[in-house]
Amino acid sequence: MSTPQRIAIAGAGIAGLTTALALLQQGLKVDVFEQASQLGELGAGLQISPNGSRVLLALGLGDALQRCVSQARGKEIRMWNTGQRWKLFDLGDDCLARFGAPYWMVHRGDLHRVLLDAFEARSDRPVRLNARVVKARSTAWGVTFALNDGSEHSARALLAADGVHSVLREQLLGEDKAQFIGLLAWRGLVPVGRVSEHLRAQVGTNWVGPGAHVITYPVRAGELMNVVGIIEREGWRSESWTERGTHAELLQDFGHWHADVCELMSAIEQPFKWALLGRAPKTGWAQGHIGLMGDAAHPTLPFLAQGANMAIEDAAVMARCLALDEPTEQALARYEKLRWQRTADIVNRSRDNALRFHNPQLSDPAKAVDYVSSEWAPEKVRRRYDWMFEYDPLKVPL
């Protein structure tokens, strides 16, 4: 049974565990409730840009993460059919010099394991498994909530970090089902020893093409290459990250692309596919002693590689707000006010990037090179990304 002196968190994913660690660092006690029966290695690659990595470093996770992250030398754009390259931006030393924190590429399971290990070492209570929060009620002094087993609990605040299908989001904001946006995503992991030497380079690559794009980057200290292909598709709705596909289906979508793309996709151990869903930004995350975080608050399409970073930023700001000497409901309202515009901008600009990656001009040899050269000119790239990377959730004025 939780107590009013503790903060309860629904969800033990990246958002939930990062928030728990940030709250513990502020001297607060937490209880984490997770609906899964066990915490395993889910998902594939994540890109953690400086706005996220500076939080993880401040939480004392640097040494553990250095053993599993990949620090790519840079990012580039490549043309879908010719393979022509354009430099997107430098990473490594340049990123540290300009933003004061590294740009990491990491397997989601590796990051989650580091977060979980740190939580288990620092918390007085472990994650409670098989514990889905099914309803909650804010009271004058805190919050009461029920789990799927019928047990009732209380806490000073309840933070919903339970993902895009959050029960608490629906309770607070009403039914607003995420909408299929006409994009199918393929993903998979490639052991680098299976592909040609030139495809093992520690570089993040955005392949752009008409109606589709492909993202590749190294994870697990360079042992694996994360491969994601996004293609415009109607009539398919499954959102499961564990929907298995076949290499034949995958190559039916991308087999006409450059030989490097085909080689990487052919080497994927097991392709998975899912439908991309989107929601327009919506306010109301903080109501009384209940607050939404991460994908439960602002689900984000992956086209700026900022979904995990937004969850990590949320964690830092939420912990700072709850550590203030003010009523909890005011602290949660402050958190939403601080995070609303930032996350809405990320959601909207991620949608814009999908259109940029899939522009019809990329199918026209006479226009494609000029389009990429203009759209990813250095000054445009800096305007598009620097504002994200410069943000410091540890110092944003409260």
Measured CA to CA, the distance from residue 139 to residue 251 in angstroms comes to 55
Confirm if 285 and 171 have CB atoms less than 8 A apart. Answer: no
Kindly tell me the sign of the dihedral angle through the C-alpha atoms of 34, 36, 42, 43: negative
pLDDT per residue as tens, the chain (398 positions): 555 689 999 999 999 999 999 999 999 999 999 999 888 766 789 999 999 999 999 999 999 999 999 987 889 999 999 999 999 888 888 889 999 999 999 999 999 999 999 999 999 999 999 999 999 999 999 999 999 999 999 999 999 999 888 899 999 998 777 777 889 999 999 999 999 999 999 999 999 999 999 999 999 999 999 999 999 987 665 555 568 899 999 999 999 999 999 999 999 999 999 888 778 899 999 999 999 999 999 999 999 999 999 999 999 999 999 999 999 999 999 999 999 999 999 999 998 888 899 999 999 999 999 999 999 999 999 999 999 999 999 999 99
Residue 4, pLDDT score:
61
Identified catalytic residue from 103, 217, 385, 391: 217
Measured CA to CA, the distance from residue 63 to residue 70 in angstroms comes to 13
Confirm if 77 and 377 have CB atoms less than 8 A apart. Answer: no
257: CB partners within 8 A, 6+ apart: 80, 81, 207, 209, 214
Confirm if 329 and 374 have CB atoms less than 8 A apart. Answer: no
Measured CA to CA, the distance from residue 257 to residue 79 in angstroms comes to 9
Residue 142, pLDDT score:
95
In 3D space, the residue among 70, 60, 57, 64 whose CA is nearest the CA of residue 103 turns out to be: 70
Q: β-pairing, 30-33 with 7-10?
A: parallel
Task: Tell me the β-bridge partners of 133.
Answer: 147
Question: Quick check: is 371 catalytic?
Answer: no
Six-digit token pair at 120?
């288990």
In 3D space, the residue among 247, 267, 107, 264 whose CA is nearest the CA of residue 201 turns out to be: 264
The 3-class SS string of the chain reads: CCCCCCEEEECCCHHHHHHHHHHHHCCCCEEEECCCCCCCCCCCEEEECHHHHHHHHHCCCHHHHHCCCECCCEEEEEECCCCCEEEEEECHHHHHHHHCCCCEEEEHHHHHHHHHHHHHHHCCCCCECCCCEEEEEECCCCEEEEECCCCEEEECEEEECCCCCCHHHHHHHCCCCCEEEEEEEEEEEEEHHHCCHHHHCCEEEEEEECCEEEEEEEECCCCEEEEEEEEECCCCCCCCCCEECCHHHHHHHHCCCCHHHHHHHHCCCCCEEEEEEECCCCCCCEECCEEECHHHCCCCCHHHCCHHHHHHHHHHHHHHHHCCCCCHHHHHHHHHHHHHHHHHHHHHHHHHHHHHHCCHHHHCHHHHHHHHHHHCCHHHHHHHHHHHHCCCCCCCCC
